[in-house]
Amino acid sequence: MLFWTVLAREIFNKHKKKVVFIGKKNQIIKDSIYINNPHISFEKTEYTININLNRYRNFHLEMMQKEHGIISRCNFYGYNPTNIYPVLNYTNEEEERIKELLKILPEKFICIEPHAKTSWTHNKSLPFEKWQNIVDELIKHGIIIVQVSIPKQKLLDNVVDFRSKLSNFRECACLLKYCSLFLSTEGGLMHASVANNNKCYILYPPMFHPNYTLYDRVRYTWIHSNEHNCCYKQNKCEECLNLMKNFDEFSCIQNIIDLYLE
């Protein structure tokens, strides 16, 4: 959903009108991700522009383009963005909530989300034990790791458990503003990190090219091979999963530490 905030900004900058996004059954999309966004409204008025997101059906096609998916979506609606960074603004209440939680954390820490969202595809998931190996290496350097998964997700050893301390995606994203580095696979929190302009290191899956969703603010390792990459498969892909399974997680440790220390 953060992709669409770029389109809203483009429309607002050109027309000086906020955008109302229209979704299923012609209903206004009131996703919490758009709260406090200066370019998006949850009410139709004479000063808003309606954008029907149901018209966009190019999700599979956009994965195969050489340009960022945000550009493809904006182009579809007649806009060509020069800035593809998403917009995510927090409320005063959210900021205060996170500042209270920061009191129990050190000044420098890494946030980690080892669990890729599987409702869309399983092909982005790095085996849990590999995340554990990464954590074990990082703590040898005295680095504090905070896990920000939802409560029911498996907990890594030797991390600060924030799974039950964050109520929703927005609070989790707000915490990332204050971490020294966010570490995960490709997903929504990566886009939130870019909106925050905080440091981010991503273990990127083989299933599509990094150009599709990454930004110049993101450091990454693309897990792929010459024989298999960019399959664009949403259904289970054994080749993608095998590449993730056989990835040498120790090969990226120094890059993560270097970015943490910058």
- The pLDDT of 4-22, averaged and rounded, is 98
pLDDT at 138 over 90: yes
pLDDT tens by residue, 63-116: 888 899 999 999 999 999 989 999 999 999 999 999 999 999 999 999 999 998
Full set of structural domains in the chain with CATH: 3-76 (no CATH), 92-261 (3.40.50.2000)
pLDDT at 120 over 90: no
pLDDT at 58 over 90: no
pLDDT at 128 over 90: yes
pLDDT at 172: 96
pLDDT at 233 over 90: yes
| Average pLDDT value for the chain | 96
Least Cα distance to 161 among 178, 181, 177, 146 occurs for: 146
Residue 179 burial (CB < 10 Å; 0-12/13-18/19+)?
buried
- Report residue 138 as tokens: 């990082």
